[in-house]
Amino acid sequence: MKILILCTGNSCRSQMAHGFLQSFDAALDVHSAGTKASGKLNPKAVEVMKDAGIDISHHTSDSVDKYLNDEWDYVITVCGGAKETCPMFSGKVKHQLHIGFDDPSDAEGTPEFIQSEFIRVRDQIKEAFYNFYLQIKKENEQ
């Protein structure tokens, strides 16, 4: 099953979702991309994922253009910006979903607060994508 996770910068939320989905099932073909890819991962995202036992430091921040000609079982946007600017995959996507999350990169305040925002969003992503994974697994067993 091929899954593409889209965000605006492809540096944080989409990378976390990518890491979690692959950790749930190594047989899934998971990729992530950005509508305006930043070209790098957010170090805080890498850190909080490592704390959760998942290494995403080897991921790359890619433009969605790289994947437009591919066929996908699911294309999932995780931020409002990507949802609004998501390019049309014109029939090459079986299911297009939006599972949105706050951007912890926007958090302001003490280092402790910023860290807590990354952890909060990471945990929300883990729960939402685990539920998504269970749902698609159940549907494929029918």
How far lies 28's CA from each of 69, 89, 134, in Å?
A: 19, 20, 13
Closest CA to 117 of 56, 8, 42: 42
Q: How many distinct helices (H) and strands (E) make up the chain?
A: 4, 4
Active-site residue, selected from the candidate residues 49, 79, 82, 99: 79
Number of residues that make up the chain: 142
Q: Which of 52, 68, 86, 128 is catalytic?
A: 86
> Is 86 a known active-site residue?
yes
5, 7, 12, 21: the catalytic one is 7
Q: Which helix (H) or strand (E) segment is 121 a member of?
A: helix 111-141
CA–CA separation, 57 and 60 (whole Å): 8
Q: Can 79 be counted among the known catalytic residues?
A: yes
User: Is 12 known to be catalytic?
Assistant: no
- Residues carrying an active site annotation: 7, 79, 86
